[in-house]
Structure 1
């Protein structure tokens, strides 16, 4: 583990941890241990998606083996701050505002450092979350217009803005407007995150 990674994680009073490109936890500070309940010994070497099992604002699973944030980092895109619920050692979910730093190492690849700011009153019972997430997912199926769904599907297929405009016979400005609207509706901060959220909701 790079000294810089360790230094950043342990220099903040906020809960923070670092993961490598395979999702393995490399560093876990005292604030993370206190807030989430996992000791440093328990966290180090664990897969982040198996330990904290982050969920997005809809209550759907966000942390997974193919981490959207790591995919953005690999593409040299900067992850934006987002809201996420993380599973504590007691089994409850706790809401955080998560800011992510990306460190690039020529030998070990990308490292993500998650800085987590707990939201007031952010603890919730997992059974309640499960029920609420099903409701949120179902109610979200109709929030996008047919055209926005078309744009989203093309984004999921890897098409750039100009390609989508050509495929749909609309201007690039119109495509950008559709993208802006669907990002807002899906509470996403990037195209990649929007696609990930849409897939979890069964929209595409």
Structure 2
């Protein structure tokens, strides 16, 4: 037990140790820093009452009949999962949680460890990407048969969103990013800017590299979300 407690205390991640009843018996310094609760405010309380976890969509997850605790009680492991919670001051926090059972020599007695780390930035980006996917998945309006579509009118500079001036992008990269924000595909952007599709793809790759994004949608989430690290 002492060895487990020492390991939990030294963990760089937030960590708690709870008994088979779900009562917190150890709360480390990283957890204090992350959640804002001191050990004296947590020890002896039910785990679910401290963490107060919800799903990322806001549905209650932690409770006295916790499915995670039941699985740990049977000696089974639990894959890491993401939750939404609040700190002592009420700040919303997204956590990735890993849980492990700690067997005891006594029958029907056990401990379990919750290790949790802050994933708030990643969760916010993921949420923005999902919102953008929802918006960009709306089918494009197609012109009636026989109608003509002017490239100039469809991609008027008046309709293009502003790219923050602090972004380390070239003029052409800014133009490509603006057209991506309108939901335009590679071929369409190539036509509007009078460049090849391969050149458009190269610009998109450069944009992602400079913004630290892994996809077009993530680049859009970073570029047109207030609080960007470049602002």
Q: Could you tell me which runs of 5 or more consecutive residues in structure 2 were left unpaired when the two chains were aligned.
A: 125-231
Tell me what 1:90 maps to: 89
Aligned residues: 123
Q: What are the within-5 Å matches in structure 2 for residues 180-199 of structure 1?
A: none
Per the alignment, in what secondary structure is the counterpart of residue 76 of structure 1? coil
Tell me what 1:134 maps to: none
Quickly say closer, same or farther: Cα 1:5–1:86, change in 2 above 3 A: farther
Offset at residue 97 of structure 1 (A):
0.8
Aligned-partner Cα distance in 1 for 2:90–2:122: 14
Per the alignment, in what secondary structure is the counterpart of residue 19 of structure 1? strand
Deviations 1:35-74 (A, max 9, x none): 1000011111111211221112332111111111111122
Deviations 1:59-108 (A, max 9, x none): 21111111111111222221110001222101233101111111011326
Aligned-partner Cα distance in 2 for 1:53–1:122: 20
Aligned-partner Cα distance in 1 for 2:93–2:28: 17
Deviations 1:91-127 (A, max 9, x none): 2331011111110113262211111110143799xxx
Per the alignment, in what secondary structure is the counterpart of residue 3 of structure 2? helix
Contact 2:72 2:100 in 1 (8 A): no
Per the alignment, in what secondary structure is the counterpart of residue 41 of structure 2? helix
Aligned-partner Cα distance in 1 for 2:20–2:91: 27
Q: Could you tell me which runs of 5 or more consecutive residues in structure 1 were left unpaired when the two chains were aligned.
A: 125-204
Aligned-partner Cα distance in 1 for 2:22–2:53: 12
Tell me what 2:119 maps to: 119
Which structure carries more strand by proportion? 1
Aligned-partner Cα distance in 1 for 2:66–2:50: 14
Quickly say closer, same or farther: Cα 1:122–1:93, change in 2 above 3 A: farther
TM-score by length of 2: 0.49
* RMSD of Structure 2 on Structure 1 (CA): 2.0
Aligned-partner Cα distance in 2 for 1:82–1:110: 22
Per the alignment, in what secondary structure is the counterpart of residue 77 of structure 2? coil
Offset at residue 4 of structure 1 (A):
3.0
Quickly say closer, same or farther: Cα 1:22–1:117, change in 2 above 3 A: same
Tell me what 1:24 maps to: 23
Offset at residue 9 of structure 1 (A):
1.1
Q: What are the within-5 Å matches in structure 2 for residues 53-202 of structure 1?
A: 53-107=52-106, 109-121=109-121
Q: Which runs of 4+ in 1 moved over 3 A?
A: none
Deviations 1:1-55 (A, max 9, x none): x213312211211111111111111110111001100001111111121122111
Aligned-partner Cα distance in 2 for 1:18–1:58: 27
TM-score by length of 1: 0.55
